[in-house]
Structure 1
Amino acid sequence: MAPTHDDIPEEEDDVMVANDTADTFLPPPRIAARFYRAPNNRRKSSAASSRRNSISSTTSHQSTRSYRGGCQSNLVAQSLRRASILETRKARLADRAAHAEQVRLRAAIAKSNTRASTSEERALAAKQARDKHLAQVAASCAEEVRRAKKIAEDNKERKAAEERRYRQEIEEKHAEAERRRLEYKRNMRRPRTTSTPSPDSKKPTLHALSQISENEAAKRIQSVWRSRERRKAVESFTGLGLSIDHIHDTSFEDVSKLLADEKLLAATSKLLNLFKIPGTADGPSIDQTATRTFLSAYLILGHPAEVLSKDGDQEQNLIQQAKELVMSFESALSELTSSNRFTPPPTQVETVLMAHGGFVTAFNDWKARDSTALVETMVTSFVNLDAIWQSIKDQTAAEVANDYREGIRDNQVILLSKIRKLAGPDKANFLIKKAIRESRRSRTRRKPLGDVRPRVAVDSPTALELPDTPFHDPVQVDATSRLDSLRVEAPSSAADSQNTVVSQPHASSLDAESPYPGLGASSLSQLFSTMPSNRILTHELAIDKDYRIDQAPASDLRDSMNRTICDGMQRGFENGEGAQWTAAMAENIKSRLLRLLRPGTSMHTLISETLDPQFVSNQASQGVFSYEKFFGFMSSILPKLCAPFRDAQIKALTEDLQEPGDMAEMIEKLFKLLHVIDLLSLDYSNFLLMNAAPTLIKESAGYEERMFAQDLDAGTITLQRTKRWWSNATVNMLTEATGDRRDPSNRPTPQKIYFRGLVDLSMASTPLQPSDVPETLELDKERIARFRTNTLRITTIGAILLSAKSLLKRDVRSSWKPEASRMWDILQDGYLKDESMPTKILSILESSHPMPPTTRAQLGGTVQKFLAQAQAGRLNDPVLKVIFQRLKSHVMTRVSASSSGERVRAASTASEGLASFGLPEFMNHVGEIVDGLGRIGDVDRRAHGPWYEQVQREVEAAGDDPVA
């Protein structure tokens, strides 16, 4: 215990003194040295907010260093530091209290502002969420209960089956024990010997064996034999190592060969027979269809991408059924051991049978849909081959036609056998006949039903007399004179009426009021003539041997001119000039009708005498001319002049002519009469053309070649556009060529270059410009423009259908022909002629293929985009680009085939190629384009072959050929 001193105060006293008075008490030096000793290891100053960096701490520290004995300064520093700490804590607590008060006030305000409706809405939402949750829980519970019931029923059935099996085994054991007991009683009792029997006693005696009946022995032998056969079937199948992993690791081609192996098929059939699968029973002739169907499950699971064409709902179901079948089969296979004599348990057999039934159903459904698309494709290929034969059988030399016939026949036999195998003989014959009938009907130009020959031509010879010598002989008269003679014999229709009317005294007023004042007599004759120019006529006949002059192009113009003449005649009657107009009209009709007859015939004489212009003019001047008698005369002769198929139309006209009427009705009857006479002239022209067509077709190439040469010599045309067109085709062909471009064997042939240029010209998204057409193809400009329009329409509709099939997860090879046909008709007048066009397209698709709203909205945007790009002629969308390029390549491959075999092969695989990139609906349209381009190419090269060779040499010499 340290001694205490009276002069040292206690701590309480020191604190009280320090708090009560301002005077400080200085402790003795020894005490100050003990309590205020400066530490040797001082810490470094911390952050700026530390108390050690405060002013009081710094002052205290400096004072301590300057004067260690100054205890008064140390106490002042401690007091200041304590006060500073207290003030800091008080400020912090005050801030916290203020923050807590603000939080309390905000909570009170928020609580006071809470509306009752919010709480009600929350309560309603909570109730709805609770009901929804309870419904989900109830549904899940119901599902669990259903699943539990099913599991319980399955367990109950399995236990019942096992109980029956156990009972049967126990009964068999009891029977065996009873049999052994009876057998033991029948045998003599063995003598007393040692407990271990001798080895000889284990062998059955001859007497014991003789006690077994023959039936019992046969049953035992059969049981052992069946067990051995089952063991061999299981070992032979497992020895092949067939499993999902093995199938997946092996290539598709190797797996296909493995599953087609006879050894595997035989082993699988024997094993499937253990599970009582239908169609796998042993016999002299085993049908392996069921076995192949079963093995298809392994192939589908191992290589789904190669087997299935798409990933739709039906394909997913098929994969799931195949998975269940393989899993149940392998599970049952693992339980076939020697302990159960390789006999599958009844429950496993039932499981495998159920899984196999589900797989077979799904497989047959998938195969039926896939085979339907395949049958349609092969039927179209068969029809394409028939169309080729119909187009070349009468226009090709006998040797070439024989080559085509053999090639087409061989391919059609192959296709027919495949179609009959998939669809059956009766259905195959029906489908092929129907498709061929529709194809021939669509390819054949629509002709009037009935006899189209004029009745006056039956008793009179052909107006065109053709020489027996060939026309291409320079010494003989060429085809030009024959065409001119045909033109002279053919009536010129309304041109004659115009010339006749203009020849009358008062025709100047009519000509001034004509809607075509800038046309002279020669121009009108060329415009309104029913016969086209010679070159057009021969060219059209060369392309289509059944070409006939159509009344549609000039029909409106002729009717308009006839209407103008009738209106002028009515004004002439009002002005008192009826006699002149009547004589002019009679002479006009007479000249038209006489062109349909041969001079010297009774009908020719009758018309000439009855409609004599002088006689009619005298009667009209005297006012005794009767239009009723005139119309009666026309009603009597028109049925004798028309063709039989015009009888109904002529009968309606004659009935109308015999009805009385005023002057306006009489003028209207004259207009109808002129229109019908124009039709009779057209029929007579087509009859003459039909008779002259075979000879003109033979001489068409030579005639067109001479006319083209005359135009070149006269400077009417040049070959500048042809050179540019050929140069572009050459560059395109060489750009796409692969390998060494300087290799002469790799250079494209002139035929390939020509057809490449023809395909590029005929298949484009932009409208055809006159500067794009070479001079050699000027006569085919309308066809090329039509091919461009059809190509763009095929691409647009095909892209829409392909997008719809992808969104609805349908097979792109499936044909939506009704929808495509309706879209084709709708888009004939334009792609965006009104704002409702996308809606119409969607309604066509949705009427036969329902779709959810999201899919419909997505498809609607796609349709709008496709139609806009087609309208602008710019195919920027990837789908449109791909379809257009593939369609173009497909047509190029078919039209550029150089031999008959290549053409037949290209036609036989055309439908499959179109179906592969989503255009199975347009096989007929594409076939028309290919057939049209082929005909154009054949006629054009035969007529302009020398100029194409010249152009090719000039292009190569000019250095336009990149290879040159």
Structure 2
Amino acid sequence: MSDDAGQVCAPPARIAARFYRDPKSRQYKSSAVSSRRNSLSSIQSHTSTRSLRRSSSCQSNYIAQHLRRASIIEARKARLADRAAHAEKVRLRAAMAKAAPRGDASASEERALAAQMARENHLAKVAAACAEEVQRAKQKAQEIKTKKLEEEKQARLDMEERMADADRRRAEYKRNLTSRKSRRASELEKKLDDVSEVDDDTSSKLDQETAVLRIQRAWRVRQRRLIIRAFSECNLSLKSIRERSFEEVGALLSGTPIIQATTRVLRLLALQDVEDTPSPQPTRTFLSAYLVIVHPAAVFSQNGAQEQHLMATAGELVESFESAISLLSPTNHFEFPSSSLQDLSRVYTTYLSAFDAWRAQDSSALVETMVASFVELDAIWQTVKDDTQGAVAQDYRQGIRDNQVMLLSKIRKLAGPDRADILIKKAIGESRRRRVKRRTPAEVRPRAAADVEDSVTESSEALPVVTENFVQESAQSDADSQDDVRTNLARLFSPMPSNRVLTHELAIDKDFRISPNARSDIRDVINRELCDGMRAGVEQGMGTPWTVAMAQEIRAKLVHIVKPGNSMHNFIVEALDTDLIYRQCEQGIFSYASFFSFMANILPKLCAPFRDAQVKALADDLESSDGEDMGAMIEKLFRLLHFIDLLSLDYSNFLLMNAAPVLIRESAGYESRMFAADIASGKITLACTSRWWRNASGNLLTEADRRDPEQVRNPADRPTAHQIYTRALVDTTFGQGPLSVNDMPETLALDVERLCTIKQKALHMTTIGAILLVAKNMLKRDVRSSWKAEASRLWDLLSKDPPSETTSEEDLANLSSDAFSVVENAHNLPPSTKTALQSAVSRVITQASTQRFTDPVAKVLGSRLRSHVFSRVVAKTSGERVRAASGASEALATAGLPEFVTHVGEMVELLRKVAEVDWASHAIWYEQIAREVSGAGDA
């Protein structure tokens, strides 16, 4: 060995970690590990290792590992031997227990036998008790039966006695009658003939009436028996159709014989009204109850609460109906008791209401809603497609197209491609036909206007010049008009509005034309007084001055509608020369027939093509031969003046159509200048406008503060000027109470009549919507279902005679009765529902006359309508407007106004156009008022 033999060499760290364990961690080892570590061999191994280490003897690691492995193996063998010994003991105990005799089985069997005997004894006692009870019941029934037999026998004996007594009295009466006749035979012999004739007539009359009554009764019974027999031959009952398939039941119920037989039975039971041309639809609805009960899975697409309610009401109806049919027999002459008939009618009405409510939820309602949205988008496109300023049409085009494509795909999925195309085409056609028919320029262009230029100067200074061509009174001064009577007549006859009104109307509606009814009544009255004055002057011998004056007036009117220097102009001036007519009248050679013949030839050359039919009728009237009767001539002259006024109006409208682009383009600036001039001159102030703006601003700020309880007041949540203006406009139009002209802002002075019309329409919508909504709730119908027919009839009724504060109570009662009749005729109403609905209709119409609703349903509908219109009018961008229009149908249906999608769309477009024109003309003053209100609020 080397010098280092006594040196102790420490093992590497990885080996030392395996042999030198931490004493603290040993307590967490498992029992098996600790037992192995604490075994004798392990202790010896550790002891030997420590001794070797102490003695500084270097042992081989291999030897230590071998000893440790051997000790572990020995310990495992010992444990396995202990387990084997324990298992052998357990096996021996189990074998001994198995071999031991079982004494508990006999005890269990004895207990089971005892329980069986006890159960048999108890059943025997119960059977004996039941037998005794049954015996007593049988004995009691036998006693009751015997008693009834005795009572019947006694009643029969009593009846026989009474019959025998009656026979005895009858025989005695006959004997007495015979004796009396024999005693009075001598007295009655003289009057025998007369008495026999009277007796014969009386007996025949009585016999005939009795026979008629009996024949009628027998005929009615026979008719009812035939109806029941025909229905019985159809073999329609739940028991007979339960085993049939859905197709077989559907084919059976859709057959004409069973529909006719069922209709007659329903009329017999007073469930349907008797009409000359009955509709099979109510009968089909009744027969659907069998299909709903037998095959609900094939009928319903889903099994919701409404479907369950319909099945329950259908089962109750069929059960009551079959019970009623079974009660009809010859004993009761096939007549149903009135008390049971009321219950059957109630069940039938309940089923019809449930069926209609379920059908309203069908896909057809959804299809109608989406078609209405599609039509609404088309109406918007028709409004903006002709826009030539900016890019309005381009902005709308893409949004409308995307929404229509989406709606079209959904409609085709629900209704099918063919039916979807038909529905959309029909709806769009009706929508476009409701719009005012626009005549082509060729139809409205007067033939005398061939040389009129189609364009006018585009300068802003040309606006008054262009309009002066239309207004005759602006062509001459007031001094000249006082000197010339004809100028005064021209001013009275002129239908043209003022320049400001003209430009304002064109800005709102580019197709605006002056209506013939604008001042037609006034002109006709003046023409009539003029002709009456001429008739009185002729009677006084002043025919020549009047004839010359009327010819001069007609020439002035005709010359006005042709261009000076034109051949037609020269021809009219030469033909209607006043000096020539005066000389002819003085000489007595003037002929009214020639004058009217000339006018009949000249008028077709001056009128527009669409007036050809009217001018032809007038020409035939003028050329009719009435002699020289001055009264007839003056009547023709009156009709001629009226038609010439129409020609002048057509010419003015034609010039207006040509100048419309320039007038529309310059309307905002012109109206703004006129408004500023009125303010500068002191004609108007902004007091009403300022108060109007402050009220709307206060309302919006209050709502904003209510939505902001923490008073954060984020600028993004505060109302803008556009929102305040829209809110003020909508509140003015849809507010409670009549629209007061004194409270209207000065900026909307030209739109008062238009806003009144919109308010009246909104009032009609609220009134009709409240009536229909109450009826739907009472009949348990879906409020989203559209009753267009009833709404249209009610709209015509209210438009014809709108209720107002001046309407008498009698007229309001008649109007309420007519409105109730519309709903009553369209739907089957139970008696209790009729009373409640009639009261609701009367209440709503009475409140509509004051334009202040206190009825909860009407107030909610009015609020919803105002909110919907505000949300659509306040939209600024084209995308927002298209989205609002595409969801308008669904929103109105949810609000309870699905019948007024078109009316609301037209109202929204008109209000939006009024707001745009008004803001463009008066934005300066609105911004000034907004700054003042904002500054006052900050202060």
Matched, 1:536 2:501: yes
Does the 8 A contact of 1:795 with 1:884 survive in 2? yes
Partner of 2:452: 461
Partner of 1:859: 837
Read off the aligned partner of 1:687 and give its amino acid letter. Answer: F
Partner of 1:776: 747
Matched, 1:480 2:464: yes
Offset of 1:845 from its aligned partner? 1.3
Partner of 2:656: 689
Alignment of 1:157-172 (within 5 A): none
Alignment of 1:346-745 (within 5 A): 366=358, 369-395=361-387, 397-444=389-436, 451-457=443-449, 459-462=450-453, 466-467=456-457, 470-472=458-460, 477-487=461-471, 502=485, 528-661=493-626, 662-737=629-704, 738-739=707-708, 740=711, 742-745=713-716
Any idea what SS the aligned residue of 1:694 has?
A: helix
Aligned residues: 604
Offset of 1:498 from its aligned partner? 11
Q: Assess, with a 3 A threshold, how the Cα gap between structure 1 residues 154 and 777 changes in structure 2: closer, same or farther.
A: closer
Does the 8 A contact of 1:729 with 1:756 survive in 2? yes
Does the 8 A contact of 2:495 with 2:518 survive in 1? no
Offset of 1:698 from its aligned partner? 1.1
Offset of 1:410 from its aligned partner? 0.8
Please give the TM-score of this superposition, normalised by the length of structure 1.
0.59
Per-residue displacement from partner, 1:567-608 (whole Å, max 9, x unpaired)?
Answer: 000000011100000000000000000011112222211111
Read off the aligned partner of 2:815 and give its amino acid letter. Answer: M
Per-residue displacement from partner, 1:914-958 (whole Å, max 9, x unpaired)?
Answer: 111211111111111101100001111111111110011112223
Q: Assess, with a 3 A threshold, how the Cα gap between structure 1 residues 730 and 619 changes in structure 2: closer, same or farther.
A: same
Match of 1:813 among 775, 784, 790: 784
Matched, 1:957 2:935: yes
Per-residue displacement from partner, 1:189-239 (whole Å, max 9, x unpaired)?
Answer: xxxxxxxxxxxxxxxxxxxxxxxxxxxxxxxxxxxxxxxxxxxxxxxxxxx
Offset of 1:741 from its aligned partner? 6.5
Q: Assess, with a 3 A threshold, how the Cα gap between structure 1 residues 712 and 544 changes in structure 2: closer, same or farther.
A: same
Give the Cα–Cα distance (whole angstroms) in 2 for the partners of residues 291 and 809 of structure 1: 24
Give the Cα–Cα distance (whole angstroms) in 1 for the partners of residues 753 and 369 of structure 2: 31
Partner of 1:825: 796
Read off the aligned partner of 1:484 and give its amino acid letter. Answer: E
Any idea what SS the aligned residue of 1:805 has?
A: helix
Offset of 1:442 from its aligned partner? 1.9
Partner of 1:86: none
Q: Assess, with a 3 A threshold, how the Cα gap between structure 1 residues 634 and 498 changes in structure 2: closer, same or farther.
A: farther
Give the Cα–Cα distance (whole angstroms) in 2 for the partners of residues 449 and 848 of structure 1: 45
Partner of 1:755: 726
Match of 1:916 among 894, 910, 914: 894
Give the Cα–Cα distance (whole angstroms) in 1 for the partners of residues 554 and 243 of structure 2: 102
Give the Cα–Cα distance (whole angstroms) in 1 for the partners of residues 917 and 692 of structure 2: 18
- Structure 1 stretches of 4+ moved >4 Å: 150-157, 290-294, 315-321, 362-369, 445-450, 488-492, 497-501, 524-527
Offset of 1:525 from its aligned partner? 5.6
Per-residue displacement from partner, 1:817-836 (whole Å, max 9, x unpaired)?
Answer: 11111111111222356132
Any idea what SS the aligned residue of 1:770 has?
A: coil
Does the 8 A contact of 2:396 with 2:879 survive in 1? yes
Give the Cα–Cα distance (whole angstroms) in 2 for the partners of residues 645 and 615 of structure 1: 34
Give the Cα–Cα distance (whole angstroms) in 2 for the partners of residues 151 and 550 of structure 1: 67
Read off the aligned partner of 2:925 and give its amino acid letter. Answer: W
Match of 2:911 among 933, 942, 946: 933
Q: Assess, with a 3 A threshold, how the Cα gap between structure 1 residues 811 and 611 changes in structure 2: closer, same or farther.
A: same
Give the Cα–Cα distance (whole angstroms) in 1 for the partners of residues 243 and 697 of structure 2: 81
Give the Cα–Cα distance (whole angstroms) in 2 for the partners of residues 682 and 398 of structure 1: 33
Q: Which has the higher helix share?
A: 2
Offset of 1:398 from its aligned partner? 4.8
% of aligned pairs identical? Answer: 53
Matched, 1:898 2:876: yes
Partner of 1:178: none
Partner of 1:124: none
Give the Cα–Cα distance (whole angstroms) in 1 for the partners of residues 242 and 496 of structure 2: 91
Offset of 1:365 from its aligned partner? 10
Read off the aligned partner of 2:928 and give its amino acid letter. Answer: Q
Offset of 1:718 from its aligned partner? 1.1
Give the Cα–Cα distance (whole angstroms) in 2 for the partners of residues 720 and 945 of structure 1: 16
Does the 8 A contact of 2:473 with 2:491 survive in 1? no
Give the Cα–Cα distance (whole angstroms) in 2 for the partners of residues 373 and 156 of structure 1: 34
Per-residue displacement from partner, 1:134-162 (whole Å, max 9, x unpaired)?
Answer: xxxxxxxxxxxxxxxx99999999xxxxx
Offset of 1:482 from its aligned partner? 2.5
Any idea what SS the aligned residue of 1:772 has?
A: coil
Alignment of 1:28-107 (within 5 A): none
Q: Assess, with a 3 A threshold, how the Cα gap between structure 1 residues 380 and 664 changes in structure 2: closer, same or farther.
A: same
Q: Assess, with a 3 A threshold, how the Cα gap between structure 1 residues 771 and 441 changes in structure 2: closer, same or farther.
A: same
Offset of 1:761 from its aligned partner? 1.0
Offset of 1:456 from its aligned partner? 1.3
Read off the aligned partner of 1:471 and give its amino acid letter. Answer: S
Alignment of 1:114-513 (within 5 A): 296-297=302-303, 300=304, 304=305, 314=310, 366=358, 369-395=361-387, 397-444=389-436, 451-457=443-449, 459-462=450-453, 466-467=456-457, 470-472=458-460, 477-487=461-471, 502=485
Give the Cα–Cα distance (whole angstroms) in 2 for the partners of residues 155 and 501 of structure 1: 96
Q: Assess, with a 3 A threshold, how the Cα gap between structure 1 residues 845 and 292 changes in structure 2: closer, same or farther.
A: closer
Offset of 1:486 from its aligned partner? 4.2
Q: Structure 1, unaligned stretches of length 5 or more?
A: 1-149, 158-278, 280-289, 322-361, 504-520
Does the 8 A contact of 2:468 with 2:475 survive in 1? no
Alignment of 1:763-802 (within 5 A): 763-802=734-773
Q: Assess, with a 3 A threshold, how the Cα gap between structure 1 residues 375 and 527 changes in structure 2: closer, same or farther.
A: farther
